Structure 1
Amino acid sequence: MTTESTTNNANQEISAEQLADEIVQQAEEQVEEQHDHAQEVISEEQERINELELALATAQSTVSDQKDSVIRAKAEVDNIRRRAAQDVEKARKFALEKFAGEMLTTVDNLERALQSIDKEDESKKGVIEGIELTLQGLIASLEKFGVKAVDPQDQPFNPEFHQAMSMQEVPDVAPNTVIAVMQKGYELNGRLVRPAMVMVSKAAPSVDTSA
């Protein structure tokens, strides 16, 4: 390999590492923005809770004939607290859902690029290593925030997580088994972001032996 080729490969690797760093930085910035938004939601709900608690304290100081108002105010405070806690949990858990969905397109493109490159060609070695580093960095960043791949090869077909694109008879394979994954699916903290696109085995047609 010539000095010029080595230099180009090094530049490609550096560029790929920079791209991985930029993608990771974008993901972290998006999480920070969503975190700030969640804090704003918390503040608004807390203000409402404070107002209702003040109303509750005032109601409790009144005469006994306002007992029903006190009970209703307390119940409303409890309900708002519960809803606020649920909203914050959802914001934390699924803040990355939209951003993760966009990043999956990049993951798909990098995986297709690796599949299309001739790995036996020494001149492409630097390019392959650069793409692999970028892909690994992106996947690691997604996993850090709860994004996991759904890759059901040879598993039973599950319509909740898989989308059947076609069916095919395959000898010695049980019906409704995933025989090929055309595109991996992904889930975020247990919630499906994108189903896996798969090919599924089907049973052979029954043979009429009555004739």
Structure 2
Amino acid sequence: MSENAQNQSDPTLDAAAAEQPAPESATSQPPGSAADWQAQVATLSAKNAELVDQYLRAQAEMQNVRRRSEEEVTKARKYALDSFAESLLPVCDSLEAGLHHPDQTVEQIRAGAEATLRQLKQALERNRIVEINPAAGTKFDPHQHQAISVVPAEQDPNTVVTVLQKGYVIADRVLRPALVTVTAPK
């Protein structure tokens, strides 16, 4: 290419350069006045203060909820036996009343003991404590029964023959398994 061709400018390049805006200088001001900026800063500061206040209130509320929950758990643990103890008080009263009458007959003592036992069973049932007393021939359940011995019997294998001691369940959790004898496999 000749020097003359290099010095000549391309008309398409000149038109493209004319269409592009001139770059802003580093010292130019953004659009808007100082008053606009100050109003926007004040608005954002107020919004920030409102959000900080909401955050602090939420934190305080969470601490209050946590404290109340801890107090309720503490009270529940402390007074968990209130209902159970209250239902046992009539049983205690019946036993004391029976002991205050030394000149009772055997039949009266037996009747009083049976009545007191009924009261005790009712108190246990009110507090969801249910006895495990499997009938003879019931399938042995290792979750509710404890086999003390295996005996030969005319029943199906691995079934309860006799109950040596009743078991108890509270709300589907075994407090004490029933002690049973079980039939031997044939």
Give the TM-score range, shorter chain. 0.3 to 0.5
TM-score (norm 2): 0.47
Q: Larger Rg: 1 or 2?
A: 2
TM-score (norm 1): 0.42
Higher helix share: 1
